[in-house]
Amino acid sequence: MRHDILLISATACLVLAASVGHAVDQRDNASQLFGAAKVPSAQTAAAVGSYAKGCAAGMVALPESGPTWQTMRLSRNRNWGHPETIDFLMDLSARAKELGWAGLYVGDISQPRGGPMTSGHRSHQIGLDADIWMLPADRLDLSRQEREELSSISVRTSDQKSVNDNWTDTHMKILQAAAEDPRTDRIFVAAAVKIELCETATGDRSWLQRIRPLYGHNFHFHIRLKCPADSPSCITQSPTVAELSNGGDGCDASLQWWVTDYLQQLKKPPPSTASKPRGVRDYVMADLPADCMSVLTSD
């Protein structure tokens, strides 16, 4: 594996108890603790728990810049992933260059030890999720400041029902390359993108079943990898993609729900929060898999 450039000095290991001011307790807020971790645990790589309730041991960083990628929003310190995820992103960025872009702008992957975040995502907790910007990478010498200020682009219209002029054939080819990779579980995109792919993809369309519509993915697409072989505590997402698409390409009539009934639901006032279950920001350590305590407190 290509991780010799990713090694971190042992002297940089985090002493977590000092950073939070007390010994870690099962009742402590998990997002605050995992958000405070600045480096990964010195453990064998493993994804622990589920994509939206878990953590990750032995993470490695996607370097800030590479021959075919740049990581964005470096101040967030979310360019960490399971080694298989980092390899995947390097491979996909190289493929993006072959297809005509300079490479990829990579958004959030995970925190150094995964876990719940204090802002943003509900998932991205076990090092197997990654966001790729829809903005075509045309230069790979962006400064740290530019990577904080530059914005991605939306590829759908304001009514959310179709792609706009920012959408290109290369977007489709990169999504296809990502979906055909056997490491991929599913890819989340705006419903308009899924509809466009269903209308224009030709040849073998089996890869389309891994492309799943989900609100809020018009500026980036979200790749989710399968549980790696080295992670027996990783929980596979259910239902599976095959179940969601009934073994087909996911281009059936139910796809229109995302641009009809679902959009109408968004216009309704949000429901009362009085009876809502505990949210990801409120998770305490006891809510997470037991192994996450050792991931959090390990040097």
pLDDT at 67: 98
Q: Write out residues in the chain with pLDDT < 70, as ranges.
A: 1-22, 263-276
Q: First and final CA of the chain: distance in angstroms? A: 23
Cα distance between residue 235 and residue 238, in whole Å: 9
What pTM was computed for the model? Answer: 0.89
Tokens of 68: 């075919």
pLDDT at 299: 83
Tokens of 217: 């993915």
Residue range 126-148, pLDDT digits in tens: 999 999 999 999 999 999 999 99
- Dihedral sign, CA of 154, 159, 165, 171? positive
- In the chain, how long is the greatest CA-to-CA distance? 59
Cα distance between residue 100 and residue 201, in whole Å: 19
With CA atoms as reference, report the closest residue to 221 among 175, 183, 166. Answer: 175
pLDDT at 4: 42
- Burial (0-12, 13-18, 19+ Cβ within 10 Å), 182: exposed
Tokens of 173: 């080819």
Tokens of 201: 């993809």
Cα distance between residue 7 and residue 14, in whole Å: 15
Residue range 73-121, pLDDT digits in tens: 999 999 999 999 999 999 999 999 999 999 999 999 999 999 999 988 8
